[in-house]
Structure 1
């Protein structure tokens, strides 16, 4: 058993990627930043509130285990930022990414004087620089430091918000949470800066000989000799840090020279275009360097699969996929060794391939704010509605008249779907696919679909009255409703993209709609939708039907008159109330 635990631990550690380490360390630093900013915001209340806030802030963050985690996160996140500067071979991404990198690398240089003066001064000499002492030093003694403090707060916050955006933008909930996160991103630093301003003004108003003797003594601020030592430490750090950045830039140049001397390889895109690049670049980096459009929603972070390529020919000589690449490929369900992520594959020999996603169909700028547009698996309720007898309707009518009547029918159906909270999705001849649950829960989506069926009946009744003088017989319809896991996203080519749903649940809904003819009813609803919507089991007739493409029969409910669904839904609501 101990051996198994050790193996599990080793497997877990090996499964940790640099991206995950960067994410965890960044979240820790963001938590510290939020805590510190909220502490600053107490300055809008009073100096006493600031003193109480900083007491609890220090009590938590200087607690030894927390302090170890925090300072480790600082070191690791900074080191990974420097490594990213070296590792990233291509900077022609969206402008926000190099901005985030530059802002992140500038933070240590901007904040070091504050850290050395406050934290290191306390550790070496026992200085007690709290808010009154810091305000005196920054607002009265050396005012330029106040502007530096403001700049580093803004830079740190913007860097953190960009990182948070990159992390969350592919999450399903992000679109709904984004307005609240934006409000917090604006309010928190604004209140913090106002709190510092109010605190600084309070200190300036209180500045007197007595106040200085009490708050700005050598015990709290240190002697001139101690200040000189701390200044030298700051200078040494800046020289070392900037020297390290310079060394990394030189190393990048040396690597580029070495790669060119090490040989060039040809990348063929399968469309007749070939580029020649140094060994060591990823396929995505090679594409961007040579201005070849290449789809990549996540910006080359191996967080999506839109940069996928299929290798043409033998792929046995290619490097093995990294753990992150293998995870993403496994997530999309591919075991084909010829399919790779362009952002992770670094070929050492000539390579021919073609892109699985065309860049004009999938772009980060178009879809980053709505990941569902690029492909997302979720539960939806599909409703197929078909107009009966449209072929007979077209007999002895002018084409314009037929199109007018069909459009009025589709308009009546679409209005019912929209009023119920659904979304008209595809119009196929005289039929329509509607989707429910794009922004609601499963139960609500099922109830919305049943409500839409009742409204469709009412709207078609109105339409029949309106067209009574022109119709030989009333317009009839058939409805099929089923729910399940589907894939939603933009499907199509270039300017002909359509947001729709793909999956077994959609196909079943279409089959159920076809069954309404043989079962002589207006709607056929899967029992799953009936149960999820909360409709009683004995409220609708039950049948077992064979579905083409399925091995086992399916339990469905038939609805002879969809108007009766309103009473069933109303009854459930009354019971719930």
Structure 2
């Protein structure tokens, strides 16, 4: 269980002032991006109407323009566009290291490319209407593309570029949402289908206009000065387009030059040393965040959200002089306050801390790579009955832990717990088989005799306690109380095999011993012990358990109660003596 400390308020209780502190550049960029992506959705749906007819295109644009030219919405839209574009240029200057080595730079490049692709369209349609009252719509735009195919391919390109840029941003935002895995196939289908329909709609609209373009009546009705402007007006608009393109390219060159100047200045100012808790020391220029320094030097560093200050898994404890640390940003203070660690100045977010002097620290949530693939090695006989020892392990108090922490941090801690358990299981000869929430089913005896399987299970239970102690030591500054667990162990004949459907097959065990082990694990709560082990497992293992309290427990689904032993501390299992002196295998 993880009750909050008496003096600590629940992290979920966010006051209005702390809510404002949680708004940073990334949150502003996301909000503006969502507005622009909504505009893309509306515009692409309008384009897709071209698959019906040119009249449908025209009817759709009336609705589309009526929504987005409504003054309050227009203000929001153009403000969002300006801010999002400005933050994109700022990101080109400010970003030093990328968490996702290919996708993040691709998103940035695509975003910076969009203005060069749409400036002609925006000036010709919107600015032409505002300056000269030119009523330019689909027939006029499509007719200009027929006479200049380069413009058509430029529009196809901007559709793909803008859509891809927006989808990458949405993916970074949604990928850690609990429902994203279930919804991702449908989102992917929509992400592919909508721009395809939009481009097909533009193509069909162009064909309809091309069929009418030779008609003098159509030209008189659609290509007059009121629809496309006079020659002088077109020259003026073309000059505006050229000047905007030149100005934008000059701005990008200035930003790149500023990056180069910053690098030279940082080298002249000097380098600083970052000392990790494991003895590793790296030299980095002033200005990099601690997380960026780790990425640059390929030092493993936990960061579930990718350095976006949406989680706290990258946090560190500074062990050097705190007086030289820069003040935390509003966003960093918000995240730390959600954790209840804002009163400790030594706790900082590595993605937000930009040290200006030598720094020594330890990672509070060290990255951990563990593979607990349950069916990486299948037993020789699949789909047969055999004796296995089943162990259920459950983390206590995970519900309260989730209530008082950021979702990403809860997932990180649960994964660390399951990794510690799985390490003990694998080291003892067992196989982690299923992960159910914060619990795990482990199997022993897939490749050994029953006596060895029972001893492996008891040895694993003892090692789990040691591993969880080490994990609690690593997390001592982040949890009000240590992590606790409950274990149920029972052995018997089960059916092993691949269970599931098509590509979703998993290797597992079915039978009464699995259910009994789960029930015993649940009963550890009422008996206030770490583990409950059936008497049969101890008997097969050949150890003396007279010192352990015995119980006859009723099991739901079974007529007769089962005799078990309650283990208050699983480390005691290493002290149990074998029945016979000749048995040299220790537990």
Q: Does 1:165 align with 2:171?
A: yes
Distance 2:34 2:332 in 1: 23
Partner of 1:265: 272
Take 2:112 and 2:152, find their aligned partners in 1: how far apart are those partners? 21
What's the CA shift for 1:333? 4.6
Residues 326-475 of structure 1: matches in 2 within 5 Å? 326-335=333-342, 336-359=344-367, 361=369, 374-375=412-413, 400-402=449-451, 430=490, 456-457=511-512
CA contact (8 A) 1:384 1:480 kept: no
1:210 aligns with 2:243: no
1:516-539 CA distances to partner (integer Å, 9 max, x unpaired)?
974631149xxxxxxxxxxxxxxx
For residue 219 of structure 1, report the CA deviation from its aligned partner.
1.1
Question: 1:18 maps to which residue?
Answer: 25
Q: SS at the partner of 2:352?
A: coil
Matches within 5 A, 1:288-307: 288-307=295-314
Displacement of 1:316 in angstroms is 3.6
Q: Secondary structure at the match of 2:322?
A: coil
Structure 2 counterparts to residues 140-155 of structure 1, below 5 A: 140-155=146-161
Distance 2:321 2:450 in 1: 59
Q: How many equivalent residue pairs?
A: 433
Structure 2 residue aligned with 1:479: 519
- Quick one: distance in 1 between partners of 2:453 and 2:350? 50
Q: Which one is further off, 329-338 or 252-261?
A: 329-338
Structure 2: how far apart are the matches of 1:506 and 1:69?
58
Tell me the CA shift for residue 120 of structure 1. Answer: 0.7
CA distance in 2, matches of 1:104, 1:221: 29
| Cα 1:262–1:254 shift into 2, 3 Å | same
Relative to structure 1, the CA distance from residue 67 to residue 48 in structure 2 (aligned partners, 3 Å threshold; closer, same or farther) is same
Kindly state the Cα deviation for residue 287 of structure 1 after the two structures are TM-superposed. Answer: 2.2
Length-normalised TM-score, structure 2? 0.65
Deviations 1:69-101 (A, max 9, x none): 100000000001111111112247421001100
How far the C-alpha of 1:109 sits from its partner, in A, is 1.1
Q: CA separation in 1, counterparts of 2:207 and 2:72? A: 36
1:234 and 2:241 equivalent? yes
State the SS of the aligned residue for 1:267.
strand
For residues 96 and 311 of structure 2, what CA distance do their matches in structure 1 show? 20
Rounded to whole Å, the distance in 2 between the matches of 1:386 and 1:158 is 43
Is contact 2:490-2:513 (8 Å) kept? no
Cα separation, 2, equivalents of 1:20 and 1:256: 28
Task: Assess if the C-alpha contact under 8 Å between 1:40 and 1:196 holds in 2.
Answer: yes
- 1:345 and 1:206 map into 2 onto residues whose CA distance is 63
The structural deviation recorded for 1:310 is 2.3
Question: Which residue in 2 is equivalent to 1:80?
Answer: 87
Equivalence for 2:281:
274
**Deviation larger for 194-203 or 272-281:** 272-281
Question: In proportion to residue count, which structure has more helix?
Answer: 1
Matched, 1:190 2:223: no
Q: Structure 1 residue 305: deviation in Å?
A: 2.5
Q: 2:21, 2:331 within 8 Å by CA — same for their partners in 1?
A: no
Counterpart in the other structure of 1:220: 227
Deviations 1:125-144 (Å, cap 9, x if unpaired)? 11111111111011x22111
Shift of 1:32: 0.2
Paired residues of 1:39 and 1:53 also in contact (CA < 8 A): yes
Shift of residue 20 of structure 1? 1.1
Gaps (5+ residues) in structure 1? 1-7, 364-369, 408-424, 433-454, 461-475, 484-503, 525-546, 550-577
Deviation at 1:358, TM superposition (A): 3.9
Answer whether contact 2:318 2:362 (CA < 8 A) is retained: yes
Cα distance in structure 2, aligned partners of 1:232 and 1:141: 20
Compared with structure 1, are the counterparts of its residues 107 and 118 closer, same or farther at alpha carbon in structure 2 (3 Å cutoff)?
Answer: same
Residue in 2 aligned with 1:109? Answer: 116
Q: Distance in 2 between matches of 1:83 and 1:268?
A: 30
Equivalent residue for 1:175, pick from 176, 181, 201: 181
TM-score (norm 1): 0.66
Change (3 A) 1:326 1:230: same
CA distance in 2, matches of 1:92, 1:478: 40
Distance, in Å, in 2 between the alignment partners of 1:128 and 1:478 is 72
Structure 2 Cα separation of the partners of residues 179 and 313 of structure 1: 48
- Is structure 2 residue 61 aligned with structure 1 residue 28? no
> In structure 1, what is the equivalent of residue 7 of structure 2?
none
CA RMSD of aligned residues (A): 4.1
CA contact (8 A) 2:53 2:205 kept: yes
**Any stretches of 5+ residues in structure 2 without a counterpart?**
1-14, 372-407, 416-435, 457-484, 493-509, 535-547, 558-566, 570-587
Is it true that 1:98 corresponds to 2:105 in the alignment? Answer: yes
**Higher RCO (C-alpha under 8 Å, 6+ residues apart):** 2
Q: Distance in 1 between matches of 2:526 and 2:70?
A: 56
